Amino acid sequence: MPSQVQTAPSLVAAKAIFKQRGGVLRTSQALRSGIHPATLYALREQGEVVALSRGLYRLAQLPPLDHPDLVTVALRVPKGVFCLISALAFHELTTQIPHEVYLAIARNAQPPRLDHPPTRVFRFSQAAFGAGIERHRMSGTWVHIYSAEKTLADCFKYRNKIGMEAVLEALRTYKERGKPKVNELLRYAQACRVERVMRPYLEAIL
């Protein structure tokens, strides 16, 4: 077995490389860093690293991940942006529990190949994709997610995909927090081309 032929020094050195890189490495990164495939296999077999997704490993000794599904997808698709139900859940604007990760990518981007966690991909136009992106640090990883205002505009655009009930719940919850940013909501509604649809609801609820 590969785990039986690895020496303790080689395993210690491999773990040190993981630590230097923040504790998470893709298989390709591990190999380029000098970790032999058999050593990586041995680390996994001995429980020293755990597979977050296919070809993505993390030191087992690290603290549990915050938002593990989001962090895992962010590591695999660093140019993606979390959107719709995933963003609503992050901003605490929905009572729904996402059973998939909702991820936006640029219209001309290659679709990600993810075996875990379940991910639902949406292609956004250039204007809609680049608007309203926030960066948040989760478990040492930078995660891109749309702001609450941009997410609401996106939800109106994809209301047939996520259900109007979820959209209205999010808008009411947003209003109950106080100080709604109406100008931002309208700006993102224009970027998503849903201003005509969205404005009557804003006037009625906000």
| Tens digits of residue pLDDT in 19-77 | 888 788 888 888 888 888 888 888 888 888 888 777 888 888 877 777 889 999 998 89
Alpha-carbon distances of 6 from 3, 9, 17, 24, 27, rounded to whole Å: 6, 8, 16, 21, 18
**Ranges assigned E (strand) in the chain:** 24-26, 49-53, 56-59, 81-82, 101-106, 119-124, 133-138, 141-146
Average pLDDT over all residues of the chain: 89
Q: Can you give the pLDDT at residue 55?
A: 82
User: Looking at the predicted structure, is the pLDDT value of residue 142 above 60?
Assistant: yes
Q: Binning pLDDT at 50, 70 and 90, where does residue 192 land?
A: very high
User: If you write DSSP's letter for every residue of 143-202 in order, what string do you get?
Assistant: EEEE-HHHHHHHHHHTHHHH-HHHHHHHHHHHHHTS---HHHHHHHHHHTT-HHHHHHHH
Tokens of 165: 């009930």
Asked whether residue 77 falls in the same domain as residue 44, the answer is no
Determine how many CB atoms are found less than 10 A away from the CB of residue 153: 28
71 by Cβ neighbours in 10 Å (0-12 / 13-18 / 19+) ranks as buried
State which of 40, 59, 78 marks the end of a domain.
59
pTM for the full predicted model: 0.76
Whether cis (ω within 30° of 0) applies to the bond prior to 117 is: yes
Asked whether residue 25 falls in the same domain as residue 52, the answer is yes
Q: Comparing 53-62, 102-111, 137-146, which segment has the lowest mean pLDDT?
A: 53-62
Q: Can you give the pLDDT at residue 20?
A: 85
The pLDDT > 70 percentage for the chain reads 96
Asked whether residue 42 falls in the same domain as residue 87, the answer is no
Q: What is the torsion angle, in degrees rounded to the nearest 10, for the CA atoms of residue 8, residue 30, residue 37 and residue 45?
A: 60
User: Looking at the predicted structure, is the pLDDT value of residue 3 above 60?
Assistant: no
Tokens of 37: 């495939």
Asked whether residue 18 falls in the same domain as residue 92, the answer is no
Q: Which residue has the higher pLDDT, 67 or 4?
A: 67
State which of 59, 86, 108 marks the end of a domain.
59
Q: Can you give the pLDDT at residue 41?
A: 87
Which residues span the domain enclosing 54? 2-59
The pLDDT > 90 percentage for the chain reads 52
Q: Can you give the pLDDT at residue 9?
A: 63
Domain tally for the chain?
A: 2
Asked whether residue 119 falls in the same domain as residue 48, the answer is no
Asked whether residue 39 falls in the same domain as residue 74, the answer is no
Asked whether residue 99 falls in the same domain as residue 134, the answer is yes
User: Is residue 57 a contact partner of residue 44, using CB atoms and an 8 Å limit?
Assistant: yes
Q: Can you give the pLDDT at residue 89?
A: 95
The rounded Cα 46 to chain-centroid distance in angstroms is: 29
Asked whether residue 76 falls in the same domain as residue 119, the answer is yes
Strand 119-124 and strand 101-106: pairing? parallel
Asked whether residue 86 falls in the same domain as residue 39, the answer is no
Asked whether residue 163 falls in the same domain as residue 198, the answer is yes
State which of 15, 41, 59 marks the end of a domain.
59
Asked whether residue 125 falls in the same domain as residue 162, the answer is yes
Asked whether residue 55 falls in the same domain as residue 154, the answer is no
- As a whole number of angstroms, the distance between CA 196 and CA 10 comes to 62
- Look at residues 151, 15, 144 and name the one whose alpha carbon lies nearest to residue 71: 144
User: Is residue 118 a contact partner of residue 100, using CB atoms and an 8 Å limit?
Assistant: yes
Q: Which residue has the higher pLDDT, 6 or 195?
A: 195
Beta partners for residue 135, in sequence order: 144
Q: Which residue has the higher pLDDT, 114 or 8?
A: 114
Q: Binning pLDDT at 50, 70 and 90, where does residue 8 land?
A: low
Mean pLDDT of 67-90: 93
